[in-house]
Amino acid sequence: MRIVLLGPQGAGKGTQAQRISREKGAKHISTGDLVRAEIKSGSELGQSIKDYNDRGDLVPDEIIIEMMKPYLDEADSWILDGFPRNESQAEALDRMLAEIEAELDAAVALEAPDDLLVERLSGRRTSEATGNIYHVEYDPLPEDSEEDPGPFVQREDDSEESIRRRLEVYHEQTEPLKGYYADRDILAQVDATQGISEVTDDILESVEKSP
């Protein structure tokens, strides 16, 4: 399975990629997680990309491609979450796939209106211990969960200003990729306003149906 998850921030790409990865055994490659891990490590590279992340701007293409390529080469079944984010990254992905003689099975776009996305992002919390993502209202940790989540943290870029900027960047640069993949007949669109399990079912169904 090789799929790209497209969709604005807050549409649930991370949550869905986690679920599908667990169910299908495909590797979840999240460029946002790679960016946050690099920043957290305090490396020189991390320091140089922190401002882009915190503002909600895209990290330069060469840096992000360099960061994710080893993960792509490592696994033959994966879900890309957060990459590609613009046309030049989509072209770079095509070149990387050609190098390993692989093809994309599907590009799945999660669709949701901006006002719902803002609501979801502002209530989003991540468990520091497990990395799992929750929402204070819509998807809290179940009371009978055996997991010890440790403290919950809010992402630096989940501030109102950065949320607005990220949605702007999405509409300008990432949304046109729907046309890029529709032209190749591998685009599936899924209603991301549904419940979490319904969205997972729709994604899996659309991947199975894709040529």
Instruction: Return the active site residues.
Output: 13, 85, 124, 155, 166
| CB closer to ligand AMP out of 172 and 208 | 172
DSSP designation for 74: H
Q: Which is nearer to ligand AMP, 21 or 211 (CB)?
A: 21
Cα 121 → chain centroid:
13
Of 82 and 190, the one with the shorter C-beta distance to ligand AMP is 82
12 binds ligand AMP (CB under 6 A): no
Taking alpha carbons only, the member of 93, 129, 152, 15 closest to residue 32 is 15
- 58 vs 72, which CB is nearer to ligand AMP? 58
Task: Kindly identify the residues of this chain, within the stretch 59-78, that bind ligand AMP according to CB under 6 A.
Answer: 59, 64
Q: Which ranges of 112-183 does DSSP label H, i.e. alpha helix? A: 114-122, 160-169, 177-182
Site string for ligand AMP, 143-182 (x = CB under 6 A): --------------x--------x----------------
Task: Give the residue with the Cβ less far from ligand AMP, 124 or 199.
Answer: 124
Tokens of 145: 């969960």
H or E segment to which residue 208 belongs = helix 196-209
For the chain, count helices (H), then strands (E). Answer: 9, 8
Q: How many CA atoms lie within 13 A of 121 on its CB side?
A: 26
* Kind plus residue range of the DSSP H or E element containing 106: strand 106-111
Q: How far is CA 66 from CA 8, 14, 37, 62, 108, in A?
A: 23, 21, 15, 6, 24
* Pair of tokens at residue 183: 């032209």
The stretch among 49-57, 98-106, 187-195, 200-208 that binds ligand AMP (CB under 6 A) is 49-57
Judged by CB under 6 A, the stretch of 17-25, 48-56, 99-107, 135-143 that binds ligand AMP is 48-56
Q: Does 32 bind ligand AMP (CB under 6 A)?
A: yes
Query: Taking CB under 6 A as the rule, does residue 16 contact ligand AMP?
Result: no
Q: Which of 58, 79, 110, 121 binds ligand AMP (CB under 6 A)?
A: 58
Interface ranges with ligand AMP (CB under 6 A) = 9, 31-32, 35, 52-53, 56-59, 64, 82-83, 85, 89, 157, 166
